[in-house]
Structure 1
Amino acid sequence: MIKVLARSIREYKKASILTPLLVTVEVILECAIPFVIANLVNQMQAGCSMDVIVKYGLALIIMAIVSLIFGGLAGSTCATASAGFARNLRKDMFYKIQDYSFQNIDKFSVSSLVTRLTTDITNVQMAYMMIIRIAIRCPLMLIFSFAMGFIMGGRLAMIFLVTIPLLAIGLVLVIRAVTPLFRRVFRKYDALNDSVQENVQAMRVVKSYVREDYEKKKFGVAAEDVRKDFTRAERIMAINNPMMQFCVYAGMVFVLSYGSYTVITSRGLALNVGQMSSMLTYSFQILMSLMMLSMVFVMITMSVESAERIVEVLSEESSLRSPENALTEVKDGSVDFDNVSFKYSEKADRMALADINLHIKSGEVIGILGGTGSSKSSLVQLIPRLYDVTEGSVRVGGVDVRKYDLEALRNQVAVVLQKNVLFSGTIKDNLRWGNPNATDAEMEEACRLAQADEFIQQFPDKYDTWIEQGGTNVSGGQKQRLCIARALLKKPKILILDDSTSAVDTRTDALIRKGFREFIPETTKIIIAQRVASVQDADRIIVMEGGCIKAIGNHEELMATNEVYRDIYRSQNRAGGEKDAQ
């Protein structure tokens, strides 16, 4: 785990190494100051001259200033190192997620990935900051304070050797008790974030069904669950502080009482006033070091689970990777499914697709019809290799998709989904996702083909109109048309429309298909639709049911031979067709 995380330190290694070195000098000076003060007290008790006092005073001032400077520099380098480490860690995780396949994302869930990128990284950042500074300072302070305590107080310092094992045993017991609780809490954090994400995305549905109270109650239950586990963990962790203070203050009381007795009576260890004052100072330093060390243990205990969750993301390998010597050129838009079967998970009981044999010529227009759950989308997601087949093979341009470079393949296969996403930015910014170098003329042509130019021209800022995140300031039909235009700018060899005209009227749908036929005749077009009208003029129509192909043919052939297709056509022309005509 440490090895994986350490890779993200990179350019901040210098600051990470420099911080402990600066802290070491700071601690040495802090521990030397009581020793100098003790000697000054003894000199004053012996009746030294003013010159001696001034000399000691100047030495103490210089030591204090130098210690302060080194402490300030350590704080600066520590902040630089921890913030930089967190930035690199967040970037590494985000870049890793970008390489994930859908299967990898399904394994973690979106809400869990968000929690790991935010809360977990913040915990690790705080722990790292403590490790390179406080976790170095506290042990050094303890060691040097003990050493100086033995030098100044002799056997009196043995009391501290009794307290340390007791505190260590207490800390180990506390950590063992709270670690499972923190592990459970972070899993519940994922569930909590999942609830928030689901609620925000479906806010319109929640409000339309007046389910706000239900959602509040559901969120309240999840939040209360997190609170209970956190409270329990914090209660256990809280035991550490009074236990530590009891041991250390008991030691200080012993030093103060027994040390005072020896100073006054000159019996036992026979300490002088200077030694006694330094022993009290070292006792205080030990107390502060133990208090800070306990805080470090608390933070590290909390962050260990976060670190493990981060490492899971960084260590996960994408289930889809480009092969060595991958092909980078797609010959044409032909698509072949040879004995293809597919399931989303190895643990799944049944195949989402079974025994698919389909051969599509380059430039063909293919329509796909089928009820909900017939695996229409699953079929087309295998073409750009968003998933890999379980059995058989998918070929594009006559070559198995697993032999292509992923980026090269996906650049030639444009997919427009029913729920495509627009990003915050101008219309031009969103269109250039299809082609970063697209000219204004190319964007306008793509929008005319997608029947989007007409409504864009009505906006005051036209193509510079700002789109809110998720495209919330445009209608569903406008969003779909912009997404189609974005896909067209890729100039792909294969264009897949996955129910992506469901929010537009039949006239606009027909104009979009007409534009495809006239302006991109060589592009293979695969249209998944619920409306027969959207695929009626396709070269071939595929009827799917239960993950299998039930029939293939053009409109006239299917009307003559396939009862399922006839039923869909008649029901839509009797009901849906009348509605569209209104």
Structure 2
Amino acid sequence: MKNLLALKPYFFRYKQMYLEGFFFIILTNIFGVIGPKFIGNAIDAMSRSFQLREIIFNVGLYVLFAALSGFFLFLVRQRVIVASRHIEFDLKNDYYNHLQKLPRRFYDHTGTGELISRGTNDLNAVREFLGPGVMYSFTTFFRLVFAIIAMVSLSPALTLFALLPAPVLSYSVYKIGRSMQKQSKSIQESYAGITNLVQENLSGIKIVKSYTREAAEIRRFETVNRQYYRKNLVLGKLQALFFAFLTTLSALSLIPVIWIGGINVMNGTMTVGDITQFIVYVSMLSWPIISIGWVTSIIQKAAASQARLTEILDAPTTISDENPLPDPAPRQTNFSGALSLHEISFHYPNQPDNEVLNNISLDILPGSKVAFVGATGSGKTTLVNLLPRLYDPTKGRVLLDGIDIRTLSLETLREEIGFVPQANFLFSDTIAHNIDYGNRNPEPEQIIEASRIAMLYDDVQDFPDKFDTMLGEKGINLSGGQKQRACIARALARKPEVLILDDALSAVDTATEARIFEAMLRSLPETTIILISHRISTVKNCDRIFVLDKGTIAESGTHEELITQESLYAELYNHQLLEDEILSLS
């Protein structure tokens, strides 16, 4: 239950609607409890001299109070259920907004399907608590209170016998409720696993089909789906046991009422109308007693779901404008693109003994073209990820024009940087919108210019709708090279001061790669370009080349300088020359 306390701010936000709903709950139950009194009066009227007018009058009043009870129940739903939908809307926005603020490292160990499951299935369970759960909890409470008051006014002794099952009921709610909460949490986790599996499988459907793994994936899905199915069956059995037990208790409570009430009627201490009225009140308690099980199930499920949502909502936004350095930098609009790294070290979370980068210091002049090369795992990608603050270094500082980038707002910093990561991604939108994705005020000329530099323009002209061509999921209707060039065009369209290309030309041939790089040099003379590539032919024209080895700068210099050193770079260069000769002979 303590997990649900996290919802207090949302309750207070819509407290007016909930207060009105509680008021209407009281009214609907007051009118609902008053009505049976007139049924008793009508029956007592039948036992005397038959007065049709009196009977019609009492029945009419019963119908009137029943109608008033129904009307205020309608108003209850208009307040409480509608308020729950408002909170659901706010929760979804807050959840999604928080996901946007979470750092890159959070997504390194959290599956997409898991996040989708929590934002849909878990959030819906919380919404059920905020609406039906709250409404029926208070309706049950007030129905019990008012009905018991009416029963005591008729016969305190008979009321005591009718409530004998209450202690057993309370204990059952406690014990079975705890079991249902544990099972609900396990079910939500299984559902998240299914969502994650389906999302991953559909994203990689080309690989599945290429390796004819359809049957294996079907079996894999069936295994996790069967686990989810079995857990739901266990919860269903618990709920069935709970409802059956509550219904049985409700029915058993009528036995002493009818027995002792009948004796009271024969003794003349109660009328037939009184005992009829009393039985109606006991019957009115049946639904509240049974609904206790249903409400308990909703609350336990919501508590488990809210705990899973809280795990995400409480995840720290370690890289955001909400936690800058103590002295933020003055707002600056003109940057030259000069970068400096001072004694940078970095390790990933939970791996403090594995330094990916170790005490790196280097300077990149504004407008220069530099490259990072090295073996796989040497730290190249990690290094460039520090520049737009996708990660923060565990030690050291990164400066842009002499300003610590942690003192800049993320918006200011990232507007100066165009970043093309290794894994290219395109949205299910038009080619034009994919290219101008990072621009606030995109112009058609910018899109065309960027596509020309990226050598994409001629390819786009071959499509029927040209730049208005809709792309499939992740740009499925483009080739690998076209996807990469579209991603490069997206970065170029921003006209950044710093352009980072992380192995962004690996899917194009060497000749096209050279043409793109030459176009960049010609079109972006003042832009600082940082290039990661495994091809020496791509990086040899850079102003400076840094060779990384096991997280450190092993060598640096121009292409000619590094060749003469006959070290790591020269070894890599000679190896690629040999490969080219072998390919030319084949």
State the TM bucket, normalised to the shorter chain: over 0.9
After superposition, what is the alpha-carbon deviation per residue over 1:444-483, rounded to whole angstroms, capped at 9, x for unaligned? 1111111111111111111111122311121221111111
Q: What value does the CA root-mean-square deviation take over the aligned residues?
A: 2.1
Matched, 1:510 2:510: no
The answer for the alignment partner of 1:401 in structure 2 is 405
The answer for the alignment partner of 1:291 in structure 2 is 290
CA distance in 1, matches of 2:133, 2:272: 37
Alignment map for 1:16-27 (pairs within 5 Å): 16-27=18-29
- Inter-CA distance 400–150: structure 2 relative to 1 (3 Å threshold): same
| Letter in structure 2 aligned against 1:5 | L
CA contact (8 A) 2:178 2:300 kept: no
- Inter-CA distance 11–352: structure 2 relative to 1 (3 Å threshold): same
CA contact (8 A) 1:20 1:132 kept: no
| Letter in structure 1 aligned against 2:331 | T
Matched, 1:476 2:480: yes
The answer for the alignment partner of 1:266 in structure 2 is 267
User: How far 1:549 sits from its partner (Å)?
Assistant: 1.8
CA distance in 1, matches of 2:192, 2:574: 47
The answer for the alignment partner of 2:315 in structure 1 is 316
User: How far 1:11 sits from its partner (Å)?
Assistant: 6.0
CA distance in 2, matches of 1:51, 1:57: 10
CA contact (8 A) 1:498 1:529 kept: yes
- Inter-CA distance 152–398: structure 2 relative to 1 (3 Å threshold): same
After superposition, what is the alpha-carbon deviation per residue over 1:45-76, rounded to whole angstroms, capped at 9, x for unaligned? 22253332333233223222222221222223
User: How far 1:551 sits from its partner (Å)?
Assistant: 1.4
The answer for the alignment partner of 2:348 in structure 1 is 344
Alignment map for 1:83-98 (pairs within 5 Å): 83-98=85-100
The answer for the alignment partner of 1:467 in structure 2 is 471
User: Which residue, out of 114, 120, 123, partners 2:122?
Assistant: 120
| Letter in structure 2 aligned against 1:28 | I
User: How far 1:581 sits from its partner (Å)?
Assistant: 11
User: Which residue, out of 302, 326, 331, partners 1:328?
Assistant: 331
TM-score, reference length from structure 1: 0.94
After superposition, what is the alpha-carbon deviation per residue over 1:241-296, rounded to whole angstroms, capped at 9, x for unaligned? 22212211110122123323432x326xx321111111111111111111112100
CA distance in 2, matches of 1:471, 1:577: 35
Alignment map for 1:415-426 (pairs within 5 Å): 415-426=419-430
- Inter-CA distance 200–321: structure 2 relative to 1 (3 Å threshold): same
The answer for the alignment partner of 1:525 in structure 2 is 529
The answer for the alignment partner of 1:81 in structure 2 is 83
CA contact (8 A) 2:81 2:132 kept: no
- Inter-CA distance 113–492: structure 2 relative to 1 (3 Å threshold): same
How many residues are treated as equivalent by the alignment? 579
CA distance in 1, matches of 2:277, 2:108: 62
Alignment map for 1:61-460 (pairs within 5 Å): 61-106=63-108, 108-263=110-265, 265-266=266-267, 270-322=269-321, 323=324, 325-329=328-332, 331-460=335-464
Q: 135-144 or 545-554, which moves further after superposition?
A: 545-554
User: How far 1:580 sits from its partner (Å)?
Assistant: 9.1
Q: 50-59 or 277-286, which moves further after superposition?
A: 50-59
User: How far 1:409 sits from its partner (Å)?
Assistant: 0.4
Q: Which SS does the other structure have where 1:425 is aligned?
A: coil
User: How far 1:498 sits from its partner (Å)?
Assistant: 0.8
Q: Which SS does the other structure have where 1:7 is aligned?
A: helix
- Inter-CA distance 581–419: structure 2 relative to 1 (3 Å threshold): farther
CA distance in 2, matches of 1:236, 1:580: 72
CA contact (8 A) 1:374 1:547 kept: yes
User: How far 1:562 sits from its partner (Å)?
Assistant: 3.9
After superposition, what is the alpha-carbon deviation per residue over 1:82-121, rounded to whole angstroms, capped at 9, x for unaligned? 2221111011010011111112333544332221101110
The answer for the alignment partner of 1:493 in structure 2 is 497
| Letter in structure 2 aligned against 1:58 | G
Q: Which SS does the other structure have where 2:331 is aligned?
A: coil
User: How far 1:140 sits from its partner (Å)?
Assistant: 0.9
Q: 399-408 or 186-195, which moves further after superposition?
A: 186-195
- Inter-CA distance 534–7: structure 2 relative to 1 (3 Å threshold): farther
CA contact (8 A) 2:543 2:558 kept: yes
CA distance in 2, matches of 1:107, 1:577: 43
CA distance in 1, matches of 2:132, 2:261: 35
CA distance in 2, matches of 1:512, 1:164: 80
The percentage of counterpart residues that share the same residue type is: 29
Alignment map for 1:43-54 (pairs within 5 Å): 43-47=45-49, 49-54=51-56
Stretches of structure 1 that go unaligned for 5 or more consecutive residues are none
Q: 552-561 or 215-224, which moves further after superposition?
A: 215-224
Q: Which SS does the other structure have where 1:496 is aligned?
A: strand
